[in-house]
Amino acid sequence: MPGALILAAGFSRRFGSNKLVAKLPNNHPLLLETINNIKKATKEVSVIVQQNDTETQHLLATTDINIILFDGAEDGIGASLAYGVQQTKDWAGWLVCLADMPYIKVSTYSTLLSTINDSNIVQPEYNSRLGNPVGFGKAFYAELAQLSGDTGGKRIVQKNLTAITQCPVNDNNIFFDIDTQEDITVFSQPE
């Protein structure tokens, strides 16, 4: 079965402080909320964190999550993703999850993970719009492992349109990530 790779090595520039440890309205740290939802869908979870982000590492020390420390976060999300994929090369595929999307439903993660096969790219679809997270089958290992810069897996998706499996989900949270302090205060988790 594919695993969930959580990208948590960003800089939270628009947020103004480390958003991963920021408290949501339910008083849970943002990153732990994301992890808890994903862990209900799969046991195969790894999170990529900046080598020098001791605050996030300290938060994760209370969990049994596999932490991948990355010292090249300045090189962009593509570099983080490539490194994470290289560290989990034995997986059957990767569901690339963003740490700042704490409200995605467990059922969405489960559906996406079960839809990934060796040679497809899985994108969640809600109301005719595509969102995150995106899944990649094992056949995309080499392309994922060579990513760099700030585009993540988008180039791979655009290059392999015939490999895409659109996966309908009943979850508008596939569009919502937390970028600013206001995002936390104005957003209330839907049922």
Domains by residue range for the chain, with CATH: 3-176 (3.90.550.10)
pLDDT of res. 191: 41
Cα separation, 38 vs 97, whole angstroms: 9
pLDDT, residue 14, reads 86
Per-residue confidence (pLDDT) for residue 182, from 0 to 100:
87
What per-residue confidence (pLDDT) applies to 13? 84
Contact status, residue 76 vs residue 9, Cβ threshold 8 Å:
no
Series of mean pLDDT values for 10-residue runs along the chain (191 residues): 94 88 93 96 96 94 94 91 97 97 97 98 97 98 94 92 97 93 69 41
Q: What is the pTM of this model?
A: 0.94
